[in-house]
Structure 1
Amino acid sequence: MSIGNSPDGNTPEDERPFEDDRAAEQVSVGRALQQARIDAGLTVDDVSNATRVRITIIHAIEQDDFTPCGGDVYARGHIRTLARAVQLDPAPLLTQYDAAHGGRPAPTPAAPLFEAERIRPERRGPNWTAAMVAAIVAVIGFVGFTVVKGGDSGDDSKTQVAEGSTPTASKAASPTADASKPADPKPDPSDSAIAAAPQDKVTVRVSAPDGRSWISAKDHNGRMLFDGLLNQGESKTFQDSSKINLILGDAGVIQLYVNGKKIEDDFRPGAVERLTYTKGDPQVG
């Protein structure tokens, strides 16, 4: 009896080398998030209410479809947020996502759905109304001065006024001089809106001085105020009677002013932040 290879030349099954198929059994990012949510006894609605991530995006991520996220930067932020909501460590999931999508990416352009309108500075022409009012005031002052002077001094005063004597000219020129004074310089619209923020409302200004980020803003009723991409150098100002809810796709490039005060939070680049601000001293809900 031969104890070597089998007659057909193949190695017996018991002697074949063990194949490590753990890689094939690795659970996908979406499946891991879904299973953790189910184990935690949470519905998709529960997770959406806790994280403010849209239900459609959560469903897509659990099916490993990251297209609705609008890019790798936002997809990583959503993965991190959902993992924390279902008590998972986001680091292994992010590593797995990066490995499947070519490594950790630089910020990428958002999908066309999130294209924000560009803020164009408003052109302001000369203030003709103020100039006209000043001219009318000057004329009325001149006529009134002439009538009063004529009643007190008789014909000689009228002659002096008609000939443009020095006293009459100097007094008549006074309103005109006031009219020629330049109007007080107006502050930048965005700065004045923050500085003069009403005490009975909450005013939030979002700027992107160091990059661009997708942002979403809602009022206290959940009505969408803005949902789109804020390009570098642009800013948006939102106001509500009691509360502003914000989602920042890349909080590290965002600068916030709330009720006239700068928020000094040290947000990390690429981090998705969900913030709520109310009236009075800036306080995050």
Structure 2
Amino acid sequence: MTSDETEQTVSTEAVSQQLKKAREKHGLSVSQIADAQHLRATIIQAIENGDYGQIGSELFLKGYIRAYAKQVGLSGDAVIAELDRELEPARQQKAREREASPLVDIERRKNRKRRIGKLLMIIMAFVLVGAAVILFVVPKFTAGEAGASLSTTSTPGDQAVAANSAEEPTGSGVQPEPNTGVDVETPVLPDNAVDSTIEDRIPIVTLSTEPALAQPSVSEDAGPVSGNLEIAFSGDCWVQVRDATGHQLTSSLKRAGDTLDVSGETPLNVVIGAVDTVKTIRFQGEAVNLRDFPVENNRVEFTLTI
């Protein structure tokens, strides 16, 4: 049999059989593979049996299989590519089940209502701002323009005061009238007489002291909130953290004594592959009790939010 025929045979075999044959070829036992990866022997046995459902997360499954392939001398990339082809039918079936679920339709309706609600709030905010401008800003500018026009327009009272001032003698060259022997008293107006006459003729313009623009009380969605997660490990453990946008903050294998410190937009989705190796876990500086979340096969997946 040629080398091309051998490669074709290997490529058509299931990943589980490729790993098992490679392990037996190297004379290794299931326990030796499990001890090298710090996993339970049942996990390695499930991989060799093709029972991937016991692993749970596809991320951890790929990590275990890549390390397994490297340990028995196989190409990790080639094995993972073959694994993707094997898992594709299961992914499509899961997607169809998810689309058929009534919960998906309910969630879509909720999201649609949220978007409509946000749009209505924005429209209401613009309406309130426009109303405030019409009620407070426009009258203020109108009153200001009226006051400016009155200050630049002369009144008949002003003209009379100016004429009287021009007729008064201003120098010593003016000859006094001859005394005819008759005392004629010239009426003297009080100082505020002219002013009061002018004031009576000028309309009083009152300016509002209320704020020009009232800020409407419109509740708007707060911006994204960042959360901080700290984990200390006492043993080897796979860990993955994603933020609210789906961005992967970390996905790696931590050793004993390692710590993890990541921050991202909440809520944070956390997957821990070996719960018993977590020494401490804190979110926003507060301790998190992993017993509050369901643990399956020493693995836990949960969401943290503020």
TM, length-normalised to structure 2: 0.30
Name the TM-score, length of structure 1 as normaliser.
0.32
Greater per-residue helix proportion = 2
Structure with max Cα Rg? 2
Q: Which has the higher contact order (CA 8 A, sep 6+)?
A: 1
